[in-house]
Structure 1
Amino acid sequence: MSLELLVEAYRLAAESLSFVGALVIIYGGIRAAVRTLQKEVLKKPFKYHDIRLGFTSKIVFGLDFLIASDILLTLIAPSQEELLVLGATVIIRTIMGYFLTKEAQEFVFD
């Protein structure tokens, strides 16, 4: 397998993971918006806490895909600067995921 082919395979895999991560987050947002409208307009028995928890879990799951994509992109050409950016990105996304999950579990809005 040639190096160019391997690099292109990594790039394609990284782009696919980014796309899936974005889709998961978009799906979570649309689902949360629809459920909120159903609760408010149609008086469906949804709880805000459950809507928020579902949305937060989709954001965190989507962030996992985005982190995996960043890791693959860094494997293609790992300069010191790119490794530092990757480390900072992973730390920021991990902290965001932690606090989003913690907030969603503790926050009661109903």
Structure 2
Amino acid sequence: MSDLRIVNGKVLTNTEVQPPAQWTNDYEVMGGDTEWGPEGNVLRMITVFGIEGEVKPLFAMDPDAGEALSLFQVGDGGFYFFNIEDSSIFKITSHSDLRSIVETIDDEIA
């Protein structure tokens, strides 16, 4: 999967943007294939909401942060948050690029 890369023996999401504070890009910590694989939960959920395209996992909140929130992109377009606890999906409309989304998340944490 081109959305992933191996660094120091860990499978990470393939992005040049670093995760926000208290978030991770460790694929296994993010739920691995169970959440993000071709038959994973996220693909099934976006289909229910009528969202189509290839799912690209980006980041998830660190489990120690207390929330089960993930950030992903569909195709070359929209960015979304996925709340694993209640299976809700929210489209990000205030930003159109990953860097500004991460900066906003970091600003909220600070």
Give me the TM-score of the superposition, normalised by structure 1.
0.23
Give me the TM-score of the superposition, normalised by structure 2.
0.23
Larger Rg: 1
More strand as a share of residues = 2
Question: Per chain length, whose mean CA-contact separation is higher, i.e. which structure has more relative contact order (CA < 8 Å, sep 6+)?
Answer: 1
